[in-house]
Chains A and B, each alone.
Chain A
Amino acid sequence: MTGNAIRRIVLEQSKRANVGHIGSSLSVADIVAALYGGVLRVASPDDADRDRFVLAKGHAVLAVYAAMQLHGWLSAADLDTYCADGSLLGVHPDRELPGVDVSTGSLGFGLPVGVGATLAARLQGSARRVFVLVSDAECNEGSVWEAAMYAAHHRLGRLTVIVDLNGQQALGKTTDVLSLAPLVERWRAFGWDAVEVDGHDVPALRARLDAPTAADGPPRALVARTVFGKGVSYMEGQLKWHYWPMSDDEYRRALAEVDGS
């Protein structure tokens, strides 16, 4: 599974549905490709012992729908209902859709649930793992750090947080709105095994995400440096693409860039 295969679907569906949130889905495309391209151990979406994935930054779910379709969990026809009346595929994920573990959309909610999921696995003696993808600006939320403290204190080693460090938040750059720096050091100070990684290097991400973990080791944080709107030059780093849908011309140019790279 490649990030660009996901990006193509993100562009197609955003255009078809005429909706925004494109930039975030593009920035996480490679992370999602790594997770769904061999990391997540999920025999079926209702297997109780499956790895859990929480998309805490729920507004990027279109990238996950794309991965689910590429994985064969979602039909093309279902994918084409994205944002339609009566669809289970909204702008934020809902657990009613098979394959979605946690309904999200409220920033700061996903990591505490992921901590609970990891604790449950420990209590049940299961080796299943939990991955939580948070946005960088989501780390403005105090509940992220409540959960971070708990997971480190109880050494929930099967928990991995991936921070999508794209530097963009809803009204500006994170450096201007509320500085997160030094983010890797902050996670380390909270007791996490934290490293900065390239959020667009799928093989390296896959290797890191799938590396063996100790059930009672420190939880892991991958602070993944990404580019907001990655893959479409005119969207990269541009706040507009948190909100706007594409014009026909913009859509053609975006597809050409993603297909050509």
Chain B
Amino acid sequence: MRGAFVRTLVELADRDRRIALLTGDLGYMALEPFMERHADRFFNIGVAEQNMVGIATGLAEAGWLPFVYSIVTFATLRPYEFIRNGPVMHGLPVRIVGVGGGFEYGTQGLSHHGLEDVAIMRVQPGMTVVAPADHEQMATALRATWDVPGPVYYRIGKDDRTVVPGLGGRFRPGRVEVVHEGRDVAIVAMGAVAIEAAAAARLLAERGVRARVVVVASVQPAPVDDLRAALADVPLALTVEAHYAAGGLGSLVAEVVAEHGLGCRLVRRAVGAPKDGRVGSQAYLYARHGLAADAIAATVIERLGAA
């Protein structure tokens, strides 16, 4: 995804001189295409994320379109209050780009796991929140949102090969993308873990359970109408996210289910509290937190049986 992000940003920057890229000293083997083509608009701010967001605010006030880049936790948590008091409070078009949503930096440990970024970003009024599921959707989403008014948060990944079957790179602001049809259960997924949801649908099909798989990449504006439609005719909705349960996709879907009186039962699959500091690959950590395809499918079977 970050490859698609950088390639697309280079294209956009070719057309729009306002685009600048700021990094908190990260992006080795990722940001070079921009550095080489638009050296005059590339700024390594140093390992200083608060200053980076402050500088971006000053640039945006003067008419620039600054993208600030770091690993999810450092891009969102460290400078959070600066994001709030700067781009959000001033309504300025600063773009926060966090790489490594969920467990993409699995072996790096909890300091590098992006597990609450969507929650804290989506509570900010006027903040567009985009969490693509694969690199094709990343490119489409960036082209669809790069010049929207106000700030944007992009939660991106490192995988530039895998694609979610059926997604075909689709993205529309405020909408969902359905990648698999079925009426026994709706599995709603956000981010790179959507590939596990799609795989779970195939496992369920082998068991005769027809699952609708819904990808939410436009977290804010929230796809309320689409979610209402996608959950209206199923008895069970299961949300899947590599994010803590509180405040993320599961919470968003719960808000829609409750506020609109939808009849489906909602089950949230999300990251539980870290217990013992064990690290591992993304696949290992997905499995450990019940986010792998087989666990998702098993949860659906169990809950449908209990319903």
Contact = CB atoms under 8 A, between A and B. Distances in A.
Interface in B27-76: 40-41, 43, 45-46, 48, 50-64
A101 interface: yes
Contacts of A124: 62-63
B288 interface: no
A98 interface: no
B48 A146 contact: yes
B50 A119 contact: no
A119 B58 contact: yes
Interface string B12-25: 00000000100000
B89 interface: yes
Given A109-B54, A111-B54, A119 B59 contact: yes
A115 B60 CA distance: 12
Given A117-B58, A117-B62, A120-B64, A146 B85 contact: no
B82 interface: yes
B55 A113 contact: yes
A147 B85 contact: no
A229 to B, nearest CB: 28
Nearest to B82: A109
Given A103-B89, A109-B85, A150 B61 contact: no
A37 interface: no
Given A106-B81, A123-B64, A116 B48 contact: no
A118 B55 CA distance: 9
Q: Main SS of the interface on chain A? A: helix
B90 interface: yes
Interface string A209-235: 000000000000000000000000000
Contacts of B48: 143, 146-147, 149-150
A169 to B, nearest CB: 20
Nearest to B48: A146
B55 A115 contact: yes
Interface residues of B, number: 28
B86 interface: yes
A103 B62 contact: no
A116 B89 contact: no
B54 A112 contact: yes
B89 to A, nearest CB: 5
Name the residue among A109, A112, A147 with the largest chain B CB count within 10 angstroms.
Answer: A112
Interface of B: 20, 40-41, 43, 45-46, 48, 50-64, 81-82, 85-86, 89-90
Given A116-B57, A116-B61, A124-B62, 12 more contacts: A106-B85, A112-B54, A113-B61, A114-B58, A115-B55, A117-B58, A119-B55, A120-B62, A146-B46, A146-B51, A147-B55, A149-B48
21 contacts: A95-B89, A95-B90, A102-B58, A103-B85, A106-B85, A109-B54, A112-B58, A113-B55, A116-B57, A116-B59, A117-B61, A117-B62, A118-B58, A119-B55, A119-B59, A120-B58, A120-B61, A120-B62, A123-B20, A149-B46, A150-B55
